[in-house]
C-alpha cells in the first residue's frame, strides 16, 4: 500500500495510490479505514506532507561515512534531536532560505520511519510492528547555526520548510536495511549509499527512542544521512535559490523540492 495525503477542491484527504490515480480513503489510516471507489488522476491533486507528525525525531551521525566527513567520533548510542513540526513541507513544496541564515543551507537524504501505533518501551524484536510505513525525508540544515553560531541544533534544523517529507507512506518495505538512498541537486548525485550502512538499525532506533519518549501514531523518525552532504564538499556546496533537490529511497519514492529565498 502507498498512502498519500492530498488536497482537492480545498479539502484534505488521505488516499491510496493506484497507478496514476489516487483512491480516496475514508477513516483513519492509523486505525480503521476504507479505500473508496472515488479516484482522481495524480496530476489533478496537490500532494500534502504524507502525515502531520506529532513529533519529528531525528538521529545524528547514523552512517559512519558521514561521521567521518563531519570530523565526529562514532556515537556509542543514537543521538537524538528534534525538528520543529512547523518545518514540515510536502513533495514539491518550496525550501525557503531563511532570512536570518540564508548562506549555508544544506541537504541530507534520509529514510523516514512513520510510526503507526503508540510505542513505549518496545523491544527490537517487536519494533517493526509499530511501523506504518516509510517515506523520504530531507533533513535541511543551516550549517552556520548548527556548527558555529548556536550551542545546540534546534534553530539550524527547524527553520520553516526545513523538513520536506514524502511523497508517499509506503507500507510494504520488505527490508528497511537494504535500500539504496540518494540525493541529487540539479540532477547531480551528491549522496549515494544504502541503508545497510546505518550504525543503528531501524529496529534499534525505534526501540531506543521508545524507551526515552512515547512515540505517538504519525511520529516521524529521520534515520540519519550518509556521506556527501554539502558542507563536506571541497569547496562546500550550499543550496541556492532555484536549485532542485531530490531525495530518492529505493522502493519508497522520490521527494523533490525547489529552493527559493524567503518570501
Q: Which stretch binds Mg ion (CB under 5 A): 12-20, 102-110, 170-178, 228-236?
A: 102-110
Q: Which stretch binds Mg ion (CB under 5 A): 27-35, 108-116, 125-133, 193-201?
A: 108-116
Beta carbon of residue 186, minimum distance to Mg ion (angstroms, whole number): 21
User: Do 227 and 139 contact (CB within 8 A), yes or no?
Assistant: no
Beta carbon of residue 66, minimum distance to Mg ion (angstroms, whole number): 8
- Cβ proximity to Mg ion: between 111 and 122 the closer is 111
DSSP-derived pairing of the beta strands 220-222 and 109-115: antiparallel
β-strand partners of 22: 17, 40
Instruction: List phi, psi (to 5°) of 210.
Output: -70, -20
- Cβ proximity to Mg ion: between 139 and 246 the closer is 139
- Cβ proximity to Mg ion: between 17 and 60 the closer is 60
Beta carbon of residue 39, minimum distance to Mg ion (angstroms, whole number): 36
DSSP state letters, 81-127: EEE-GGGEE-TTPEEEE-TTS-SSEE--EEEEEEE-S-BSS--TTTG
Q: Supply angle C-alpha 196, 75, 148, rounded to 5.
A: 110
Answer for which of 225, 230, 246, 253 binds Mg ion (CB under 5 A) is 225
Site for Mg ion in 49-68 (CB under 5 A): none
Other beta carbons less than 10 A from residue 76's beta carbon: 7
**Cell numbers linked to 210:** 521508545
Beta carbon of residue 61, minimum distance to Mg ion (angstroms, whole number): 9
Answer for which of 108, 227, 243, 248 binds Mg ion (CB under 5 A) is 108
**Cell numbers linked to 67:** 561521521
- Cβ proximity to Mg ion: between 139 and 248 the closer is 139
| Residue whose Cβ sits closest to Mg ion | 139
- Cβ proximity to Mg ion: between 108 and 243 the closer is 108
Burial of 242: CB neighbours in 10 Å, binned 0-12, 13-18, 19+? exposed
Q: Which stretch binds Mg ion (CB under 5 A): 93-101, 125-133, 223-231, 253-261?
A: 223-231
User: Do 206 and 119 contact (CB within 8 A), yes or no?
Assistant: yes
**Cell numbers linked to 154:** 534546534
Q: Which stretch binds Mg ion (CB under 5 A): 28-36, 47-55, 76-84, 218-226?
A: 218-226
Other beta carbons less than 10 A from residue 138's beta carbon: 27
Q: Which stretch binds Mg ion (CB under 5 A): 44-52, 183-191, 225-233, 237-245?
A: 225-233
Site for Mg ion in 142-171 (CB under 5 A): none
Answer for which of 104, 106, 139, 243 binds Mg ion (CB under 5 A) is 139
Which residues contact Mg ion (rule: CB under 5 A)? 108, 139, 225
Amino acid at each position: 500500500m502507498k498512502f498519500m495525503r492530498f488536497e482537492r477542491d480545498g479539502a484534505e484527504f488521505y488516499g491510496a495510490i493506484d497507478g496514476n490515480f489516487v483512491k480516496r480513503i475514508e477513516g483513519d489510516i492509523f486505525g480503521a479505514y476504507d479505500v473508496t471507489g472515488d479516484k482522481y488522476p495524480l496530476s489533478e491533486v496537490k500532494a500534502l506532507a504524507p502525515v502531520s507528525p506529532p513529533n519529528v525525531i531525528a538521529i545524528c551521525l547514523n552512517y559512519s561515512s558521514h561521521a567521518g566527513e563531519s570530523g565526529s567520533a562514532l556515537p556509542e548510542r543514537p543521538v537524538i534531536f528534534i525538528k520543529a513540526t512547523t518545518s514540515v513541507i510536502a513533495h514539491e513544496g518550496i525550501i525557503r532560505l531563511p532570512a536570518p541564515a540564508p548562506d549555508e543551507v544544506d541537504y541530507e537524504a534520509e529514510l523516514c520511519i512513520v510510526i503507526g501505533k503508540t510505542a513505549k518501551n518496545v523491544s527490537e524484536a517487536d519494533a517493526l510492528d509499530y511501523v506504518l510505513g516509510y517515506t523520504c525525508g530531507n533533513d535541511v540544515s543551516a550549517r552556520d547555526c548548527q556548527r558555529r553560531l548556536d550551542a545546540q541544533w534546534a534553530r539550524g534544523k527547524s527553520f520553516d520548510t526545513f523538513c520536506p517529507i514524502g511523497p508517499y507512506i509506503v507500507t510494504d518495505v520488505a527490508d528497511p536495511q537494504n535500500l539504496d538512498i540518494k540525493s541529487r541537486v540539479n540532477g547531480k548525485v551528491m549522496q549515494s549509499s544504502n541503508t545497510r550502512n546505518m550504525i543503528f538499525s531501524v529496529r534499534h532506533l525505534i526501540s531506543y527512542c521508545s524507551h526515552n519518549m512515547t512515540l505517538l501514531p504519525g511520529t516521524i523518525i529521520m534515520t540519519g544521512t550518509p556521506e556527501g552532504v554539502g558542507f563536506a564538499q571541497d569547496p562546500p556546496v550550499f543550496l541556492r535559490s532555484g536549485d532542485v533537490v531530490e531525495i530518492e529511497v529505493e522502493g519508497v519514492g522520490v521527494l523533490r523540492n525547489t529552493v527559493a529565498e524567503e518570501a
